[in-house]
Structure 1
């Protein structure tokens, strides 16, 4: 019997959102002595207070049939429906009757529910006393937030008033380091005040109260750093390490990372490295694969740079410092070695991606950038396109526009070409995550790269672009990490970070589930579809797929280009 009563109590506690009791354990009858009545279907019971309340609790809706009066006398009958509302829902500021706001009209003539003790001046809407002078206007006329400074103590004993405004705020917000009162009084004279939570840590100089978990966490949360002093092993929250010589506590992410955070170096001892990491011989610190044999010692004993392959054995070029760089970075006009040795004794003539400058070669992407790299300034001469400057867009009528005037929803060219093909109609779905870096660099590959700063991972819309070493048989590939529904791509040209005349004019796509077998995307004629690319280096173009593809990989093959292949891309999907 006690269990049955508990079931009834639970039903009542959910009010209008409860469903009828299924198989309640009373046999075939719903005992009226428990306040239960049977649905017409006979397979469920509902409480009499749920009858004619405007919500169907029986699957057959029988609890809402033939309703003319409410189950209790103090309930409000919605005039245009069978719904009945308990007093707490009448004039509470929300429309609860199904057909509209009848329960919120003429509130001064209606009684407030027992839980409400205050009314809005104009509307008569009922609200809790605790909502008065809490800094948030509940009443449409704002009367719950008026004359607060003249009122006595806050309704809730756990709240106190700001002296000037009279607004009530939670005691735990006093001296927490974040002013709540407009006059900042809640953060004044904190050294003389007790913290609301007895376990809080009080900063010595300011008296600010800190959550105990911020004590000895390796970060100074007090301005004077006292929360990180005199730490013991017991003060360190798991899984942080306590430095053996008296702190501080070091986060787990900074253990065995090759950088000593503890004064005694104890955060870098007894390290267990992963199978791909290199472990320093003396300290035991771990070095990631990219830090091994890169010409820069990460271990204190430089053991990560001993017994390494030479740059030549790796197919790379060696700087004076023993650092290895890509061969494509030699004599490209950029100093990749700290000494600049990679740009000494460079032969001429320069290749197609370079300009001759002072007897050396300068990358084209550094020409016409407003900076004189050549002593005679020849890299900034003849920087025009259609009679416009290198950083301008030529209209067909001869007008020159700034790049910021393109695709800004304002027509500046008389023919309107500055607002054409702006990628406004994006493919369905949402961006996969190239721009947001949800897709990691290791998931983005290409057939080749001109230099590391123009690698495949630079295809993101974040400033740089992908540039291959050649323009023949090149491709860009993205791995999604899981099976994904692709709806299209958005691409743009090399922008201002590459040769001013470079972009992809056409391309094809291919898809794969395993990264080995590729299926080219075909159009309605069952032939490989060639997509139109960009018309300049500035604007992005949107290319939705006529029919979406479910895949794990995508490849883009440039089939046409202007100047050189240079591009950025985003993939659009409907699941992620």
Structure 2
């Protein structure tokens, strides 16, 4: 008897026949069907395996087909945003979503966000006003909606009006009011109105479908109406003193003691509601542009200061203070921190421009009766009127053949060039005392009296490369007088904007340029930063009428 070990024991299984390709596919489909029915959808157990696989295949094919379509749409959108200044024609205004209008295009700068260049205490009031349907980037103030005047190019601001701000209104569709009453018994549905200004009334043209705009022409008015004296038009009493000249002779706006319908009172005149908080002062004291909010100062071309002053958006960062404390010029391109400097320098306003008193009294900027006394060395004093000189002019304008003073005193007692003596210096047109040679003041129009100087007096500037003496006020005024530009290098904020408010301080180069010359059209700043470029880009588009608002 033989002895069997554990290793010798064998269990033999019947060999399975290999499955065909069709059986393998059918087996896999059944496995997938079981997985779907047990995992997420029990009803799948009643469906054929082939149907489930076909549905899955269609889903996969749909995903694969969506990938190239998505890439095509994305590239098209990128192309439109790169090549087009205004993308609004591709958008449709939604009542809950307001357009972002601050992207502009300029060569390789791409989209520049102008709000990034805005001062912190100034807002553009996004979300307020009415966005034109045809051009959603254009937002008009709420006070101009349904006022009888088309402000949007497509007239959408005068469409679908339920209430008019104009003096007259009529049904836009005849019988609409009756039909809407029948449809809505519980809630009152307002009909669509057509808003008309007074000039459209009694003009011989029927603007209203029912002709009611021509039916107001009568010689007898009711108690709640008044008649224009120039024509037979009866208007509601609420049209008097609303700032809108409804009567052709303006009789409805004369001698107003009180203004109506949101109008603002200036003396005995009323400023209409659409001009209150519109960024343009109608009153001499600018009171119509104060105490504004985002509702009244709405519109894509408006800006609101923290103090409630409404200004035009183009006035922001233009180098002039339009808001109190100059908040519209804070942190703007070309600005710098000059709070301490501003306290030292006395500023004067001349012809709408702001200058330092030193600029005016040295004759660098001519302004009448702005100085109590002209600079004794740098300027010539025109005749005194009252307790102040008429104005201060540069000494180089004295005896130049042109009378700059009203009495011509700057052209009196002049020695002609041909009569210059030995103790005089010959200029291009006149003679000056030798003592004025190389004194740091230009007396000659060609500035020849300050050339080839061995030394310059204290308080003046010496160009080492040119051996020229320059007046002290030329330091960092935005104009390079020295051939090597040394008079415009390493400028501080105090030397630049502190002494010359009409200059632009470059972001990182310690260089200032004349604000009206910094863009030609690209930024002239050395090593111009993105902010410097964005400032010039916005200026070019605004001047070209392509600004997005």
TM norm structure 2: 0.24
Q: Which has the higher strand share?
A: 1
Higher relative CO (CA 8 A, sep ≥ 6), structure 1 or 2? 2
Report which of the two has the higher share of helix: 2
Larger radius of gyration, structure 1 or 2? 2
Question: TM-score, normalised to structure 1's length?
Answer: 0.24
